[in-house]
Amino acid sequence: MRDCPTPRALTLAAAPLVGAAFALLVGLGTTPAFAVDYARVDVMGFSANGSRFAFEEYGIQDGSGFPYSNIYLFDVDRDAWLGGSPFRRRDEPDYTTSPQAEAALQRTREANRDAAWNLIVSAAITGHGDTVAHNPPTQRGIDPHRMSATTLVETPDFGPPIELRLSEHKVARPASCPDDLGEIKGFRLTLSFKGKTRILNDDARLPQSRGCALGYRIDRLVLHHPDDGRASSFAVLVLVEQIGFEGRDGRYLAITGRL
């Protein structure tokens, strides 16, 4: 994911993983069946100066079987979406086989990337950065609320470590959330680096964009060290488990800043 030439080259970088998922469905039957839905992630990376960051989440919606793609672009220093972001697309194609579903998902992703392209270009997103730690939802035997990593991929035994810690807490239930499927939760996230700890997020209430959140895990830490002397940029991706159509779904949010 480091210093890739253009974000278009990253568009379908994860397509083989998608194909593997659909191949599993083929083994289970000729018609795709969708239960829970944990989105996949394509980290599009930072701009060269580290001031912008982007990622895409995509997948097949549970229940409906509709393909979707959500592209998020961030102002790193403000930890806020860029104007015009996010780009959300969900299509409603008619298909009966897993290969057709895979093709529909790729078309949805391409169309959404085309819609976001002008902002991607103006934000100068060119794939800079490294994922220095990653705890996917399939990982077992680790603490999903804690992550520790060093900062340099080239020399991983050197450099001060970064530690992330997340804790969950109950928040007021939004009116749109059913009251019989578990507590609605917010989270507190801290980052410790060079002897200092700061709070990156601490929910007093649940943002509307997060849906009906039931739980969280730290998914990955992405870093970029600009060549122009600016402080290193970071993006923390947090997996949000939400109430879905047929069970828990997984969606992602990012928190950005400078070290």
In this predicted structure, the answer to whether residue 43 has a pLDDT above a threshold of 80 is yes
- pLDDT average, residue stretch 205-213: 91
In this predicted structure, the answer to whether residue 171 has a pLDDT above a threshold of 60 is yes
Residue 1 lies in a domain: no
- Its domain, for residue 158, covers 7-258
Task: Read off the pLDDT band of 34 (50, 70, 90).
Answer: low
Q: How far is CA 19 from CA 22, 100, 182, in A?
A: 5, 11, 33
Residue 120 lies in a domain: yes
DSSP state string for 26-41: HHH-SS------BPEE
In this predicted structure, the answer to whether residue 17 has a pLDDT above a threshold of 50 is no
State whether residue 119 is helix, strand or coil: helix
Q: What share of the chain is helix, strand, coil (3-state, %, to 5)?
A: 20, 40, 40
Let me know if 4 is exposed, middle or buried by CB neighbors in 10 A (0-12, 13-18, 19+).
middle
Residue 202 lies in a domain: yes
Residue 158 lies in a domain: yes
What value does the mean pLDDT of the chain take?
87
Residue 107 lies in a domain: yes
Rounded Cα gap, residues 100 and 236, in angstroms? 34
Q: Hey, how many other C-beta atoms are within 10 angstroms of the C-beta on 38?
A: 19
Let me know if 97 is exposed, middle or buried by CB neighbors in 10 A (0-12, 13-18, 19+).
middle
In this predicted structure, the answer to whether residue 207 has a pLDDT above a threshold of 60 is yes
In this predicted structure, the answer to whether residue 23 has a pLDDT above a threshold of 70 is no
Residue 160 lies in a domain: yes
Question: Which pLDDT does position 8 carry in this prediction?
Answer: 44
- Report which secondary-structure segment, H or E, holds 169: strand 162-170
In this predicted structure, the answer to whether residue 186 has a pLDDT above a threshold of 60 is yes
Question: Which pLDDT does position 35 carry in this prediction?
Answer: 58
Q: For the chain, what is the domain count?
A: 1
Residue 102 lies in a domain: yes
Task: Read off the pLDDT band of 9 (50, 70, 90).
Answer: very low
Sign of the alpha-carbon dihedral angle for 167, 140, 151, 16: negative
Question: Which pLDDT does position 63 carry in this prediction?
Answer: 79
Question: Which pLDDT does position 24 carry in this prediction?
Answer: 37
Residue 2 lies in a domain: no
Q: Report which DSSP code applies to 202.
A: E
Question: Which pLDDT does position 180 carry in this prediction?
Answer: 81
Rounded Cα gap, residues 106 and 101, in angstroms? 9
In this predicted structure, the answer to whether residue 71 has a pLDDT above a threshold of 70 is yes
Question: Which pLDDT does position 28 carry in this prediction?
Answer: 37
